Structure formats: C-alpha cells, structure tokens
Amino acid sequence: MLYQEFTHELNNYITIYQKGLKKQANKLIEHTVQLLQNSDPKSIDSIMFQFLTEYCEQEIWTGLSHRGNGDIPFALKQFIRPWLTNRCENKSMPELRWYYELFHNDGIGYKYATGYLNDAYNSPNCDQKTIDLLFDSYLDILAWGAHHFPDGCIIEKSAQDNAFKNCECIMTEKNVSEHLIHELYYYKSLYDCYENYVNDGKIKDFDIYCKESDLNFHYNKAYYYNK
C-alpha cells in the first residue's frame, strides 16, 4: 500500500462520516486497516511515520479527530497502538511523545502513556512539545485537585506537593513555554488561598482570599445526592 492510497481512503472516510453514514465509514476504515496489515513492514513503517507526523506535528488530519468523540477512528487506532508500542520500547522519538498524545486518555493506553512521556523527556531528542506536555500533565493534576474548591480538594497533599515539585524540576532543567509557567503560578496562588482558607477555619468567604491574591477563580458547582 502506498501513502497516497492510504490518505485517499482516509479522505473518503471523512467524507462519508460527515454525511452521517457512520456504519459505512467504519467499514471503509476497517478495510483500509486490513490493507495496511497486508502490506510489507517497510511500507507500514513509512505510512505510519508520515501519517503520525502529519497528525501530531502538523495537525493536518483534523477531520479525523474532530468527529463525535474527538478521536481517531477505533480500527485505525487499534492498528497504531502496537506499532507505536514497539517503537516506544526501543525509546524512539518522537514516537514516545506520539503515544502519549494519542493514548493518555485511552482506557488501556493511559497505563503506559505517562511512562513513555517521561522517557521522551529524558531522551537526547527531547523537544519543546514534549517538555510542555509533561509540564502540562502536572498542571492537569493540580487543576483536577482544585476542581471543587472551596468545598474540598480532590487530591491528597502528597499529590499536590509532587505536582509542584515536578514542575519546578522541569523549569530548572528545560525551557518551559511562558503561558504554562503563568498557569503554574496561578495554581500556586490558588492552593495557597485554599490552605489559608482552611487554616482560618473557613470563616471568611473563599472569594476574599482570591481577591487578595488577585486571582480570577471560577467555581464549579458541586451537587450532593442523598442515597
């Protein structure tokens, strides 16, 4: 199979899917994957590397991910997983980062994604996108922990400390994008506000602490149900 043939089938898939013919589109992508499986290893490597370069680096295939579930078609993703895994086990870059980008929210892949991203960070070929993704993964932990402030913190103190510590470590070792650094300082101030709010016995409104720290904090409504 040639790359031009592969991309032709992908474009056909997108066209059919956008017409609402999902079953027909899924059959097409399954057939395309079957053709890939029957190709020789060198052709598969060439097709996969070029496709993932365009998908992850150049964001060419937005039509694939901007579907109902915001993900690559299932059959194609199932084909990509073992191909990427083999490359990751050999510490190949940017495949280590690609795995994280594709599978960090995946039901199976998430177990390996963070480890591969750390391998990417420690690789001699570590790039800016890898640095920012790893840094942002710790910001995601902090964001989740603050999800129900001031009602409570979802993550334990050790997880908070570990996230802040890892961000600081990355900043000492690498150049982190400025907007992510600003986001880290936001969470530092936010968590300080929450700690002061708790230490003061939650007597004053949490808003007061945020205003004193010049923070624009938006509440998430929490709903409680009686069982």
Q: What is the pLDDT of residues 135-186, one digit of tens each?
A: 999 999 999 999 999 999 999 999 999 999 999 999 999 999 999 999 999 9
- Out of 3-7, 187-191, 222-226, pick the least confident: 222-226
pLDDT, tens digit, for every residue of 121-141? Answer: 999 999 999 999 999 999 999
DSSP 18-37: HTT-HHHHHHHHHHHHHHHH
d(CA 20, CA 36): 25
For residues 4-32, average pLDDT? 94
Report the amino acid identity of residue 98.
Answer: W
Q: 54: which 2 tokens?
A: 């365009």
Give mean pLDDT, residues 186-198: 97
What is the band of 69 on the pLDDT scale with cuts at 50, 70, 90?
A: low
Please report, to the nearest 10 degrees, the dihedral formed by the alpha carbons of residues 171, 175, 178, 182 taken in order. Answer: 0
- Summarised one tens digit per residue, pLDDT across range 197-223 is 999 999 999 999 999 999 988 776 444
Q: Which of 21-25, 65-69, 201-205 has the lowest mean pLDDT?
A: 65-69
- pLDDT band at residue 224, thresholds of 50, 70 and 90? very low
pLDDT digits (tens, 9 = 90+) for 47-58: 999 999 999 999
- Can you give the pLDDT at residue 68? 64
From the list 191, 185, 106, 103, the residue with the least C-alpha distance to 147 is 191
| Total length of the chain | 227
Percent of the chain whose pLDDT exceeds 90: 85
Question: pTM of the full predicted structure?
Answer: 0.90
Task: Specify whether the backbone of 118 is left (phi greater than 0), alpha (psi in -120 to 50) or beta.
Answer: alpha
pLDDT for 82 beyond 80: yes
Average pLDDT in the chain: 93
Taking residues 33-43, report their average pLDDT: 96
Residue with the two structure tokens 């998908």? 55
Cis peptide before 94, with omega less than 30 degrees from 0?
A: yes
Structural element, H or E, at residue 11: helix 3-18
- Asked if pLDDT for residue 16 goes beyond 80, the answer is yes
What average pLDDT does the segment 85-106 reach?
96
